Each structure stands twice: as structure tokens, then as C-alpha cells.
């Protein structure tokens, strides 16, 4: 029986949108802490909190160890509770399959898998492994299974496809809209696995499909790898023959092919049961302090390994970066492309980055990690409410190139673009006001510190986003929706005088946006408040002098 009205990705030209219940959908919300979803009672008050927080999506883990504690005995009762409670809270679910690999280790594989080292061999980091992140002298070892184990793949696939089969029976309304297959895969501690299984593959011929992909689009692959491969690679030669020892890029590519084949194989098998959109997420690298593969997970879907993953795992719909670094815009640019729509499954509570991802890079969604720790009425919740209320307008504007997202650095004065034939300049309101008042001999007092975004955050303080940020949507050549905080927006056209014709406040209600006050006078000195996120509908008047 065919699945009816399944959530799906729909492409128009270079734009990809997510369709849920036959309407465009932006996943705006957050991921639960790793252990929260494992107990329904623990989650009960969290669902009530999330229902008030403006989020429309919750990303929740489902672990192999919990659903198959004994081989062949599957228990999806925790999944039943997640689906039922999310539906009651009015949220959609993205499920994460914590299977054989989570954060480059195998701690979520069941005990019966980890105990049988003969059937399920471990990865071998070689004679000089790197120090792995989050370890310390005397710490207990964390297991890393070998991704080259056929037995591991078959066991993981059995459990994963059973999960998808169970969803197809208990979730006819598609509360679950996507699946993340595994989590931040890769190998930590070495550039490649040196186990007997891995060495056998390392000494076997390169995959013909990889050689063909490099030949078709050499410019998309890491150029160091392409040069080492040579203009006419010999398909009979092994990885070892082509690259020798101690070649970090070759080792990372080798591991990427292994992990992508594993994860992509799971995705393909799952789609035969329930064809929901699937993605894989990345612990990004290289990054500061993690310069070499193995210092970050070698073989994961990092930016330079995207073409390897695309070739090895066509059943994975897109690759998604987890962003905890300060240069978020750079990471978004690396992942957003015609072939890979941007989706951020894990990030800091940073409202400006949500607008940047959605408005600046055509993103499918932005999700904070530890969403249950959000303070009531925080800045990110306000961003969620506005973005979800504007979803139809945003998605249409993404498709037609009528949207601009921005997040200015604190010292950045302005940024400009063009929409619907109109030049638009976004300025840092505070710096603008400081300059104007200084001309009159008045100094602006320091801006007050923003409230924390979270309550009792596990990973330290999370202050509100003090940058000028937001997005501009062109509804017509003379009408714009402007959303954000701390920014002044000016419109210009060559050879014309452009002035504000009207500015109308937009207010989020349970029924969506409603028009509020007509803003004029003092309120027009600052179209977007520097105290909280606001939205306005602007009409411009163009005259020829």
C-alpha cells in the first residue's frame, strides 16, 4: 500500500523545500539533550514547556541499545510515547537513529554488539593515535566499532529498518517528518582505521564509482586528493598503491567512503520501508585545535568530504553541519549549494543565525541543541514564532530570490543588497544612533546586557544575540516585510527619490501575523527595535525629482 501525503523534499530549479501535509514547512526548533527522550516521564513536563516556546520541530534521539537490548527482541515503546506526546504538543519530530555510531564512538550500540569483538571488530587507531577530544589521563575507553564490518552493518540495518516499519504503522499522520541516520560519524584518534577489516579495503582497488565521480567533477573534490589520484587513475590499483602511507586527505577520503557507504546503505534500506527524507550530520572540521582528520572525526560529512558522500550515499538527501563555532556564516556557505540544501540540526541559541540560515542561505531549518533548557520568553523563541508564522512567504521568497538574511558583526556598520529592483542597506542601529547623537554632543550609554537564553544550561552561559540581525522579504517592488532586531533599513533606487510611504507593525498571534500600529514619528527612527525582535510591513513611495 503506497504511503499517502508523506513529508518530502520538492525541488524547483535550484531551490529545495520541505513539504509537510502538502504545505511548505521550515523546521524551527531544537534538539533534545542526548538522554532526555529515553524516558517518557522525564519528557512529560518538557513537552508542556516546548508547546509554549514557539518551536514547531523537536529533534529527538532513538537509540539502538534501548530498542534492541537483546538481539532479535525489539521494543519501540519509547518511540510510541515520543510520537504521541509530540503530536499532543503540536510539534513535528525529526528522529535521530543513535545506532552503531554517535559522535565518532559506538556507545549507543547494544551490549551484545560491543561484547562480541570477533563478530563485531573494533576500529584500530594504529601505533601512534591522537589524543581524542573530551578524554583525560586514566579515563575509561569508549568503544569504536569498525565501519568496515559487514556484520555490524547487517545488525544495524535490521534494527533501523524495523524502526521505520514500526513508524509506518503507528504514525499515519506523519508526526515524524525526517530521520537523521547515525550522529556525527567518523573516526577519532587516527586518520584511518588500521584494523584487519579496514586494511583489507585499503589494499583493495579504489571504488570505480568514486573514480568516476572524480572524473566527472574534479573541481568539486579536494584538490590535494585529485592531484594525488592523478589524471588517469588505475582502477586496478588500491588505496595503498595510489596514496601510500601518511596521506591525511587520502585517509579521510577512505574513511568518508566507508562511513558514507554504511550510512547511505541504512538510509536506502529504510526508504524501502518508509521513504521519509533522510540526512547525515557533521562534526565540522578542520577547526581550531582540530587541524587533522582524526582530531575531528575522520570520514564524517565535513565540507571537503561532501562530494565523496554524495557519490557514495545517494539515499542521503542532504548533509547538515552542527554549528558551535563563531564563524557560522562561513560554515553555512560551505554547506548551502544547489545540490545540498542547508539544514542545521544542532547549534547554539543564537537567534541571528536562524535568520541568516533561513533568509541568507535558503535553509530548510535551524535548530538549537538542548532546546528544553530554553528560558521562557527567550530571544530564540521569539525568532521561532516569527519565522514559523511567515513560512509561506519565506519559502516562496527563497524560491524566487526575494529574500535577504543578515547578522552584522557588532562593529560592522552596514551591509547592502538588491531585491525586486530596489537597493537595500541594513545598518547597525546602535552605531548609527551613536554617530548621530555624538554630532549633537550626546553620548549613548552602553547597551544593557541581554538576558541568558537558557536556564541552568549544561554547557555554560548562552547570552542573547546582541548583533543587528534579521531578514527582508520583497513582497512586491513597493512592499517589503522586515523582521529582526537592532537594524535600520533604507531603500534606494537609481535616479529616484524613495521614501517610506507607510510602516505597519506586524504582531504574532495564535492565528499567525496580524497588522498592528501604524508606525510614524519617533518610531520610524528605528524600524527594528534594539530591545526585542520585531516585524513590520513597509511600503515605499518612489518619485522622480
Strands (DSSP E) contained in 303-420 are 318-322, 343-344, 365-369, 403-407, 414-419
Strands (DSSP E) contained in 356-413 are 365-369, 403-407
Strands 422-428 and 487-492, by their bridges, are antiparallel
Q: Coil, strand or helix: which one is 523?
A: helix
E strand or H helix at 132: none
Strands 414-419 and 422-428, by their bridges, are antiparallel
Any idea how long the chain is?
545
Closest CA to 151 of 105, 119, 181: 119
Biggest CA–CA distance in the chain, Å, is 83
Cα–Cα distance, 190 to 193 (Å, whole number): 7
Cα–Cα distance, 467 to 454 (Å, whole number): 18
Cis peptide before 467 (omega within 30 of 0): no
Q: Between the CA atoms of 20, 25, 28 and 30, what dihedral angle is there, to the nearest 10 degrees?
A: 20
Strands 487-492 and 318-322, by their bridges, are unpaired
DSSP 306: H
Q: Where are the domains of the chain?
A: 32-322, 406-543
| CATH number attached to the domain at 32-322 | 3.20.20.80
* Per-residue three-class SS string for 236-277: CCEHHHHHCCCCHHHHHHHHHHHHHHHHHHHHHHHHHHCCCC
Place of cell 524613495: 498
Distances (CA, A) of 364 to 134, 316, 399, 509: 31, 15, 12, 23
Answer whether 290's CB lies under 8 Å from 20's CB: no
- Strand order of the β-sheet with 414-419 is 414-419, 422-428, 487-492
Phi then psi for residue 180, to 5 deg, are -95, 125
Residue by residue, pLDDT tens for the chain (545 residues) are 456 799 999 999 999 999 999 999 999 999 999 999 999 999 999 999 999 998 999 999 999 999 999 999 999 999 999 999 999 999 999 999 999 999 999 999 999 999 999 999 999 999 889 888 888 888 888 999 999 999 999 999 999 999 999 999 999 999 999 999 999 999 999 999 999 999 999 999 999 999 999 999 999 999 999 998 887 888 899 999 999 888 999 999 999 999 999 999 999 999 999 999 999 999 999 999 899 999 999 999 999 999 999 999 999 999 999 999 999 999 999 999 999 999 999 999 999 999 999 999 999 999 999 999 999 999 999 999 999 999 999 999 999 999 999 999 988 899 999 999 999 999 998 887 776 666 666 676 777 788 899 997 777 789 999 999 999 999 999 999 999 999 999 999 988 999 999 999 999 888 788 999 999 987 776 788 888 999 999 999 999 87
The Cβ of residue 477 has, within 10 Å, a number of other Cβ atoms equal to 13
User: Looking at the domain 406-543, which fold is it?
Assistant: Chondroitinase Ac; Chain A, domain 3 (2.60.220)
Task: Quote the cell numbers at residue 298.
Answer: 575522520
* pTM for the structure as a whole: 0.95
The Cβ of residue 376 has, within 10 Å, a number of other Cβ atoms equal to 9
Closest CA to 105 of 65, 45, 162: 65
* DSSP per position, 372-433: GGBPTT-HHHHHHHHHHHTHHHHHHHHHHT-EEEEE--TT--EEEEEETTEEEEEEEHHHHH
Cα–Cα distance, 353 to 314 (Å, whole number): 29
Amino acid at each position: 500500500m503506497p504511503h499517502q501525503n508523506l513529508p518530502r523534499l520538492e525541488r524547483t530549479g535550484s531551490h529545495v523545500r520541505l513539504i509537510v501535509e502538502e504545505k511548505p514547512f521550515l523546521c524551527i526548533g531544537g534538539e533534545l539533550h542526548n538522554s532526555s527522550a529515553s524516558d517518557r516521564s522525564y519528557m512529560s513536563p518538557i513537552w508542556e514547556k516546548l508547546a509554549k516556546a514557539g518551536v514547531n520541530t523537536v529533534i529527538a534521539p532513538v537509540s539502538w541499545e534501548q530498542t534492541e537490548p537483546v538481539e532479535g527482541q525489539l521494543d519501540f515503546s519509547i518511540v510510541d510515547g515520543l510520537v504521541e506526546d509530540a503530536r499532543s504538543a503540536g510539534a513535528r519530530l525529526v528522529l535521530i537513529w543513535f545506532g552503531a555510531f554517535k559522535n565518532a564512538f559506538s556507545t549507543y550500540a547494544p551490549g551484545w554488539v560491543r561484547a562480541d569483538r570477533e563478530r563485531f571488530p573494533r576500529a584500530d587507531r594504529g601505533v601512534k593515535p591522537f589524543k581524542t577530544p573530551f578524554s583525560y589521563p586514566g579515563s575509561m575507553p569508549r568503544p569504536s566499532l569498525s565501519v568496515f564490518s559487514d556484520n555490524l552493518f547487517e545488525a544495524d540495518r535490521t534494527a533501523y529498518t524495523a524502526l521505520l516499519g514500526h513508524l509506518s504503522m503507528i504514525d499515519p499522520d506523519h508526526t515524524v517528518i525526517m530521520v537523521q541516520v547515525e550522529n556525527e560519524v567518523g573516526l577519532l584518534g587516527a586518520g584511518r582505521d588500521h584494523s584487519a577489516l579496514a586494511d583489507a579495503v585499503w589494499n583493495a582497488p579504489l571504488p570505480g564509482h568514486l573514480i568516476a565521480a572524480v572524473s566527472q567533477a574534479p573541481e568539486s573534490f579536494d584538490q590535494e586528493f585529485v592531484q594525488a589520484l592523478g589524471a588517469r587513475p588505475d582502477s586496478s590499483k588500491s588505496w595503498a598503491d595510489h596514496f601510500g602511507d601518511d596521506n591525511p586527505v587520502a585517509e579521510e577520503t577512505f574513511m568518508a567512503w566507508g562511513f558514507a557507504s554504511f550510512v547511505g546503505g541504512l538510509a536506502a534500506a529504510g526508504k524501502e520501508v518508509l521513504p521519509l527524507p533522510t540526512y547525515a550530520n557533521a562534526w565540522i572540521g578542520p577547526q581550531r585545535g582540530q587541524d587533522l582528520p582524526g582530531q575531528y572525526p575522520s570520514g564524517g560529512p565535513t565540507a571537503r568530504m561532501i562530494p565523496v558522500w554524495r557519490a557514495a550515499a545517494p539515499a542521503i538527501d542532504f548533509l547538515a553541519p552542527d554549528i558551535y563555532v563563531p564563524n557560522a556564516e562561513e560554515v553555512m556557505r560551505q554547506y548551502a549549494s544547489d545540490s545540498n540544501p542547508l539544514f542545521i540540526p544542532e547549534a547554539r541559541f543564537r537567534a541571528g543565525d536562524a535568520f541568516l540560515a533561513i533568509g541568507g542561505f535558503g535553509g530548510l531549518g535551524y535548530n538549537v541543541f538542548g532546546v528544553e533548557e530554553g528560558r521562557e520568553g527567550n530571544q530564540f523563541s521569539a525568532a521561532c514564532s516569527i519565522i514559523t508564522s511567515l513560512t509561506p512567504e519565506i519559502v516562496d521568497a527563497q524560491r524566487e530570490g526575494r529574500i535577504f538574511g543578515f547578522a552584522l558583526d557588532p562593529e560592522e556598520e552596514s551591509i547592502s543588497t538588491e531585491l525586486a529592483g530596489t537597493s537595500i542597506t541594513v545598518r547597525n542601529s546602535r552605531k548609527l544612533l551613536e554617530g548621530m547623537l555624538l554630532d549633537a554632543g550626546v553620548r549613548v550609554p552602553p547597551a544593557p546586557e541581554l538576558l541568558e537564553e537558557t536556564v541552568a544550561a549544561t554547557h555554560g552561559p548562552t547570552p542573547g544575540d546582541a548583533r543587528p540581525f534579521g531578514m527582508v522579504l520583497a513582497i512586491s517592488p513597493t512592499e517589503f516585510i522586515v523582521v529582526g532586531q537592532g537594524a535600520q533599513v533604507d531603500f534606494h533606487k537609481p535616479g529616484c527619490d524613495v521614501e517610506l510611504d507607510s510602516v505597519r507593525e506586524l504582531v504574532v498571534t495564535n492565528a499567525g501575523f496580524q497588522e498592528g500600529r501604524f508606525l510614524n514619528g519617533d518610531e520610524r527612527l528605528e524600524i527594528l527595535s534594539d530591545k526585542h525582535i520585531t516585524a513590520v510591513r513597509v511600503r515605499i513611495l518612489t518619485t522622480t525629482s
